[in-house]
Amino acid sequence: MQLVLFFIFGGLCAAAALNLLLTRHPINSALSLIVVMTSLAVLYLTLGAEFLAAAQVIVYSGAIMVLFTFVIMLLNAGEEVRTRGSRAAYLVGVPGVAALFSLLTFVFLSQGNHLGKSTLANPATLYDLSAVLFRDLLLPFEVTSVLILIAILGAVALARKEH
């Protein structure tokens, strides 16, 4: 059953990610990103990480994507204009993607039997996770929240109409 759910929601996640990249309207892109985040939450559930799945839905699919959608609507962004892109981007991007794909293929083929195996004797508890997040990683956690606040303020300043 887990394998079936993995293929269904993995395919949905990949299709929504492609739709995110290929659609021209920003609201449709944001909605596609919500589908990606929710599909990832289901994939976390199939892995037995219930807390991560709940956090994914509450924090990312809920709060942050609603914030993104609100900012897009506040800016009244219309359909984006497609350009052909720069020649330099194609000259650097295509070999870069090929190199990254080759590297990931090599890692998965050579270390495939070790991927996904935990080295911990017992799984981490919620207490352990919260201790790491709010004690050891408190500064990056707070810096991220300040950066999100600055982005919101910048979007409001850009959307403000002059009289």
* Whether 18 and 69 share a structural domain: yes
Residue 148: inside a domain: yes
Say yes or no: 72 and 7 in one domain.
yes
Query: Residue 117: pLDDT band by 50, 70, 90 thresholds?
Result: low
More confident residue, 46 or 134: 46
Please list the alpha-helical segments (H only) found in the chain. Answer: 2-22, 26-46, 50-55, 65-75, 87-111, 126-131, 138-159
Judgement on whether residues 2 and 80 belong to the same structural domain of the protein: yes
Q: Is residue 30 part of a domain?
A: yes
67 with 9, same domain?
yes
Q: Given 30, 64, 84, which residue is the final one in a domain? A: 84
Q: Is residue 64 part of a domain?
A: yes
Helix/strand/coil for 124: coil
Regarding whether 129 and 52 lie in a shared domain, the answer is no
- Structural domain harbouring 43: 1-84
Residue 56 has pLDDT above 90, yes or no: no
Model pTM? 0.60
pLDDT at 36: 92
One domain for residues 138 and 77: no
Based on the fold, state whether residues 5 and 58 are members of the same structural domain: yes
pLDDT at position 42: 93
Q: Are residues 58 and 6 in the same domain?
A: yes
The last residue of one of the domains, among 28, 63, 84, is 84
**Contacts of 40-47 spanning 24+ positions with Cβ under 8 A:** 40/13, 42/5, 42/9, 43/6, 43/9, 43/10, 43/13, 46/2, 46/5, 46/6, 46/9
Q: What is the largest CA-CA distance in the chain?
A: 64
